[in-house]
Structure formats: C-alpha cells, structure tokens
Amino acid sequence: MYPPALSRPTPTPTPNQLGAMMIHHHHKPAGKSNTASCNLIEEMKTKGAADICHGDAKCREKFALLLAEIGFPGSVLLAAVEEIEECGHVKETGFVWLKHKKTKDHYKFDTVDVRCDAVVTASFERRRIRNLTGVKAKEFLFWITLSEVHVTGVAGDGCSPTTIAFKTPAGFSKSFPLSLFVGDGGGGDQKVKSGIRLAF
C-alpha cells in the first residue's frame, strides 16, 4: 500500500496504449470541426473577402490552379471528393475551402486510405498547406486527422519539388515521391503506376 499523502505512480503506457490515446485525441467528432469550418466560411462570405465559384467542373479547375500557384500537383485532394458544390479562396490570407455533396468511404494511396469530410478547409502558402481540416488518413487500423501537407526537394530543373509529405497534428508525417501524383483530379478511376494505386 502507498501512504495516503502519496499518489500511486502512473504506469508507463505501452505502445498500443499510446497509439489508442493518439487516435482518441485526433478522432474528434466530425460535427464539431465541420461547424467551426462552416462558421469561418460564412464569416469570409459576409465580409465579401472571398473569390467563390460553384459547380464541380469550375471548382476543380479553380482548386487545381490554386494548388499549382503554390507548387503542388493540381490533382492533390481532388480525387478524394465528389460533386464539388463550392470552392472559395481568400487571397489576402490564403484561406481555401471546398464543399462537396458526397463523401467517399475512402480513396487508396499506396498503403494509406484517405477520406474527406463534406467540407474541407486549409491555408495555402508557397509549397505548404497548413491548418488542414476535414481530411483523414488510415494506415492499418486507425483513422488519423491530417493537418498539413508540404512539398520539398529540388528536381533536375533546379526549382521543382520531388517529395510530398502529409503531417498529423501530433507531428507524425509520411512522405511519398511527388512523381506518384499523376491523377487528373477529375474524380474518375484511380491511376496505376508501378503497381501502386494513386490516391489524390
């Protein structure tokens, strides 16, 4: 028995327990994050600060152009959403959002499944997507929220990036060769290259 004045030592969590704690922390109810995102979107609309387009084709084109401007492949995230209703962009802050009707169960990339909520928001800057909401990834058993995407490296032309990395709020990340992202972003069938199903 431990003396009343002393608390019982806290046992060191096992790797499985740590994983469960991390999943519990990041797997927040979708409703809360969606509500916060929608409130921010409505605020931008009220201020008249956003450039907004509607319709799947126009929204895909707009989002692809925004990605290209910050050095990303134009298909990133687009294949994971269907029937896009609205795309908005606040140029002064880099805030971007997508709203779409359907939520795919998941989209497969290498060993990772990716799923998007009905509302996706992010802040765009050169070679980096920050404050990402509405996007989750699953490898093996658990869904993890993604919060950041960035591209790095220098190709033979001296300016093009070669690697893309996806990061969680806890700081964990996974990188892939940027050359794998050859999807057209049109929401069609997955591309296949060297036996790998491409996700975005």
Which tens digits make up the pLDDT trace of 126-168? Answer: 999 999 999 988 876 788 899 999 998 766 555 667 888 999 9
Q: Virtual CA dihedral for 56, 62, 63, 67, nearest 10 degrees?
A: 160
> Which is nearest to 32 in space by CA: 96, 106, 100, 117?
117
CA angle (80, 62, 70) in 5-degree steps: 85
List pLDDT tens digits, range 171-200.
998 888 887 765 544 444 333 332 223 333
Rounded to 5 degrees, φ, ψ at 94 are 85, 5
pLDDT tens figures, 12-51: 444 444 343 333 333 444 445 578 888 889 988 888 889 9
Q: What is the pTM of this model?
A: 0.70
**Cα(64)–Cα(78) distance, integer angstroms:** 8
